[in-house]
Structure 1
Amino acid sequence: MDAARAVAAVTAGETLDDAFARMSDGLSDNGAAVRDLAYQCLRAHAGIDRRLAVLVPKPLREADRQALLRVALCRLEARPDGAHTTVSQAVDAARALGGDRFGGLMNAVLRNAQRRHAELEAAVAADEAARLQHPAWWLDRLRADHPDDWAGIAAQGNSHPPMALRVNRRRSTVDAAAAALAAAGIGAQAHGTTGLLLDKPCPVSRLPGFAEGVLSVQDLGAQGAAALLDVAAGQRVLDACAAPGGKACHLLEAADVDLLALDHSEARAQRIADNFARLGLPGRIAVGDAARPDDWWDGRPFDRILADVPCSASGVVRRHPDAKWLRRPKDIAQFASQQRAILDALWRVLAPGGKLLYATCSVFRAENQDQVAAFAARHPDCRRLTLSGAPDLSLLPTAEHDGFYYALLQKAADAA
């Protein structure tokens, strides 16, 4: 029932994170299983709805009942060996929600799903959006932006995300942290000077050293930002869209910099403060809009700026499957407009000769390559620096990391 409540909230326009935050006090004891089922249902949303369209051609008007049908059918498809238990529990939940009539409908739908399995699979196979578990417009954009990789990107978007850790090198090393994990029975592979990729995800409560600030959870692709920005001791650094603070913390772990972490939300800024405290880091925090520096800037330019701008999250959709169903085609242009405003505003506060790292967790060109090219064309004092010999770095999602985009821009030394 709780998973269905979360799914219903998403179909009503709420993010899954916000839905679970609101529901947290009322979640049942098996909260982890509830979350897993809700995420699973949203990843498979298109396929589930295509099956339901065959079984119940007219969707139910009550969003909570339709959501319960989705979740029950998702669980039935994922656990065919536990079909009897799934049907029994789903019918009980349906009766509690809508009485015997809805309980009877639930029973009929699930029994029909078992009997008509081949027919339902054929319906899904004939519908590309259902088969690939993404909205049609999203797939069209992937195909246009990544003609050679679009299908693989979509497949990764339906997978379970990897879990990676960043070692706080002020407190430990990758080798020492890996040894501690191994002693705790947790397998991990080292990546670079700060990264560890777990063989399988586990609760942070099991991670030796997490509470003491030795480890943080951060995707390997996200860990690239600190090295690309090339910070050095004594520099003034701005993380302009910082919450929850992973990249800001990594920058502070990398060098003794004077860092300001900015976010538009007080609640999100508190998450940055919590991470700074756990890791023992001295960063400053401000609440403000990155596109309006006059509200928070003290007039002293920054040597380095990380602009990890708001975006579609199309590169991390396996972590946020609700994004596939909350986003609309027009949203990409709106994100691009917001990104443009932030970039233009932040360029004002960057010191001559300073560097700005533009970052997104998107795989859409409109938010990445097109955005940076348009910015460089507007600003003659902007020089694009190469990353590993290329004009930018586009990380498509893989089994090891999420999808990210980076471009490094330098302001002319003689800029006014």
Structure 2
Amino acid sequence: MSTPQRSASLAEALLGAAQLIAAVLGGRNFDVALAVSPLAGVTRAAAMDIGYTALRAYGRGDFLLGLLLEKPLKEAVLRGLLLAALARLEARPEEAHTTVDQAVTAASQLARGRFKGLVNGVLRSFLRRREELLALADADPVARWRHPAWWIARLRQDHPDHWESILAAGNTHPPLCLRVNNRRVASADFLIRLNAAGIAAHALDDTAILLDKPVPVERIPGFAEGLCSVQDWGAQTAAGLLDVQDGMRVLDACAAPGGKAAHLLETALVDLTALDADAARAARITDNLRRLGLAATVKVGDARAVDAWWDGRPFDRILADVPCSASGVVRRHPDAKWLRRESDIAGFAATQSAIVDALWRTLGTGGKMLYASCSVFGEENARQVAAFVGRHADARRLPIPGTTTRDAQLQHLPDAEHDGFYYALLQKD
């Protein structure tokens, strides 16, 4: 949790987190489980934080439970409670007494309290054997790195010099970065407003401001009025790379929730079409643009089914922000690394190929398409783009400004300032 909780609410938060964790381990997306949860207020926020922390550390918690339990648990919420409590015990050893006490209180709400003794016994056993158990966990790759074995293997293959730092970053709390709407306010002036509101932050470039500590958007001055948006610094790279100019026809495919589309509109006066296959997500694009005082043509449609939504007029620029494994932003969605299967990557790659092949038809001669993903897996990035260029004789890679790579691509790796993103710029000859 970001702030200490009073004892009564900690038990409620642990129980709420346990229910969310149980839903994820049952195959449900964390956000979907949260949307139907009755959790509210400070308990909801605390349960989210505890749940995310436990899921980031699931590989470790699962390993520890295997050592602490005589047999696997059938009760999913009970398992979730123990995972949440173990993650908190390791993260906050100075609050061990409170954590155990409140976990036992939470257990009293399950099965008429018959698991209180088990929870107390497991957690106290962990505390007694802490050094021994953590040493064993550190010797196990999945427990040490808190990622699935296949995920670790892919990163070692794709990023032999950086795989450890990528995994370490995936276990941290993500940074909160703002994109200032320069059509409404200068970045320097907005930074002054943040500091006046007691929010410590610093500028990363002309539009990006990184907060020292994340805060709820309700605390950010001018957010509701459209002076800024929450957008990772790595995601903000896209608008500059696409090189949009006033008067251009621009397509943002797979655009929801609209962050990159809005940034393009803040960058130049363009005729922008924002496309997404999901109607509910497309509605979020409209809402976000309205808050920022921006306008675009928002369409619901499958990027692969071009004839269903394209009017036949070529685009000057296309942002192909393709669906992917989200392996570069996994610290924001820690459930993803446990819900994903290695076989899913080939499925994403096939969808990506179909999307960019279809979109290429809609790009005018001399136009540019930016291939973008929030992945760090080569099958979805470098190998995907290489295969595309091999299929299309009229496709040419363009240099990425500010990089020294010979193969004209940019791979942001997750760190303290931004998430993991991939970009490759292609021109149609």
Q: Same fold (TM over 0.5)?
A: yes
Measured after TM superposition, the shift of residue 2 of structure 1 is 0.9
Aligned equivalent of 1:10, options 6, 24, 41? 24
For the residues of structure 2 that align with 1:335 and 1:258, how far apart are their CA atoms?
Answer: 29
Q: Which amino acid aligns with 2:423?
A: Y
3-state DSSP class of the match of 2:372?
A: strand
3-state DSSP class of the match of 1:356?
A: strand
When the two chains are superposed, the root-mean-square deviation of aligned CA atoms in Å is: 1.2
Aligned equivalent of 2:33, options 13, 16, 19? 19
Aligned equivalent of 2:239, options 226, 229, 233? 226
Deviates more, 1:395-404 or 1:114-123: 114-123
For the residues of structure 1 that align with 2:297 and 2:110, how far apart are their CA atoms?
Answer: 49
* CA distances 1:396-415 after superposition (whole Å, capped 9, x unpaired): 11111111000001111xxx
Equivalence for 1:155: 168
* CA distances 1:55-99 after superposition (whole Å, capped 9, x unpaired): 014221122221122112222222222222222221222232123
Deviates more, 1:135-144 or 1:84-93: 84-93
Matches within 5 A, 1:116-195: 116-195=129-208
Equivalence for 1:52: 65
Q: Which amino acid aligns with 1:407?
A: A
For the residues of structure 1 that align with 2:100 and 2:142, how far apart are their CA atoms?
Answer: 27
Q: Which amino acid aligns with 1:9?
A: A
Equivalence for 2:419: 402
3-state DSSP class of the match of 1:155?
A: helix
For the residues of structure 2 that align with 1:208 and 1:351, how far apart are their CA atoms?
Answer: 41
Aligned length: 411
Q: Which amino acid aligns with 1:8?
A: A
3-state DSSP class of the match of 1:300?
A: coil
For the residues of structure 2 that align with 1:2 and 1:406, how far apart are their CA atoms?
Answer: 38
Aligned equivalent of 1:357, options 366, 370, 373? 370
For the residues of structure 2 that align with 1:229 and 1:213, how far apart are their CA atoms?
Answer: 23
Q: Does 1:339 find its partner at 2:357?
A: no
Deviates more, 1:318-327 or 1:381-390: 381-390
Equivalence for 2:410: 393
Aligned equivalent of 1:308, options 314, 321, 344? 321
Equivalence for 2:53: 40
For the residues of structure 1 that align with 2:147 and 2:211, how far apart are their CA atoms?
Answer: 28
Deviates more, 1:146-155 or 1:113-122: 113-122
Measured after TM superposition, the shift of residue 28 of structure 1 is 5.6
Deviates more, 1:92-101 or 1:347-356: 92-101
Deviates more, 1:128-137 or 1:26-35: 26-35
Equivalence for 1:320: 333
3-state DSSP class of the match of 2:189?
A: helix
Matches within 5 A, 1:271-290: 271-290=284-303
Measured after TM superposition, the shift of residue 111 of structure 1 is 1.2
Measured after TM superposition, the shift of residue 27 of structure 1 is 3.4
Whether the aligned pair in 2 keeps the contact of 1:50 and 1:123 (CA below 8 Å) is no
Q: Which amino acid aligns with 2:87?
A: C
For the residues of structure 2 that align with 1:164 and 1:35, how far apart are their CA atoms?
Answer: 20
For the residues of structure 2 that align with 1:374 and 1:27, how far apart are their CA atoms?
Answer: 48
For the residues of structure 1 that align with 2:42 and 2:211, how far apart are their CA atoms?
Answer: 26
Measured after TM superposition, the shift of residue 41 of structure 1 is 0.3
Aligned equivalent of 2:259, options 242, 246, 252? 246
* CA distances 1:277-319 after superposition (whole Å, capped 9, x unpaired): 1001011111111111112111111111101100111111111
3-state DSSP class of the match of 2:262?
A: helix
Whether the aligned pair in 2 keeps the contact of 1:314 and 1:361 (CA below 8 Å) is yes
Equivalence for 2:269: 256
Whether the aligned pair in 2 keeps the contact of 1:164 and 1:220 (CA below 8 Å) is yes
Deviates more, 1:12-21 or 1:140-149: 12-21
Matches within 5 A, 1:201-212: 201-212=214-225
Whether the aligned pair in 2 keeps the contact of 1:265 and 1:287 (CA below 8 Å) is yes
Q: Does 1:30 find its partner at 2:43?
A: yes
Whether the aligned pair in 2 keeps the contact of 1:311 and 1:362 (CA below 8 Å) is yes
Q: Which amino acid aligns with 1:7?
A: I
For the residues of structure 1 that align with 2:41 and 2:20, how far apart are their CA atoms?
Answer: 13
Whether the aligned pair in 2 keeps the contact of 1:59 and 1:66 (CA below 8 Å) is no
Equivalence for 2:8: none
Q: Which amino acid aligns with 1:299?
A: G
Measured after TM superposition, the shift of residue 370 of structure 1 is 0.0
Q: Which amino acid aligns with 1:48?
A: G
Aligned equivalent of 1:370, options 383, 389, 404? 383
3-state DSSP class of the match of 2:109?
A: helix
Measured after TM superposition, the shift of residue 17 of structure 1 is 1.5
Equivalence for 2:97: 84
3-state DSSP class of the match of 1:281?
A: coil
For the residues of structure 2 that align with 1:122 and 1:183, how far apart are their CA atoms?
Answer: 46
Measured after TM superposition, the shift of residue 185 of structure 1 is 1.6
Q: Which amino acid aligns with 1:365?
A: G
Equivalence for 1:110: 123
For the residues of structure 2 that align with 1:143 and 1:317, how far apart are their CA atoms?
Answer: 17
What fraction of aligned residue pairs are identical, expressed as a percent?
61
Instruction: Specify every segment of 5 or more residues in structure 1 that has no aligned partner in the other structure, as ranges.
Output: none
Equivalence for 2:310: 297
Q: Which amino acid aligns with 2:228?
A: L
* CA distances 1:353-399 after superposition (whole Å, capped 9, x unpaired): 11100000101100000000000000001011010353111111111
Q: Which amino acid aligns with 1:104?
A: G
Measured after TM superposition, the shift of residue 22 of structure 1 is 1.9
Deviates more, 1:101-110 or 1:271-280: 101-110
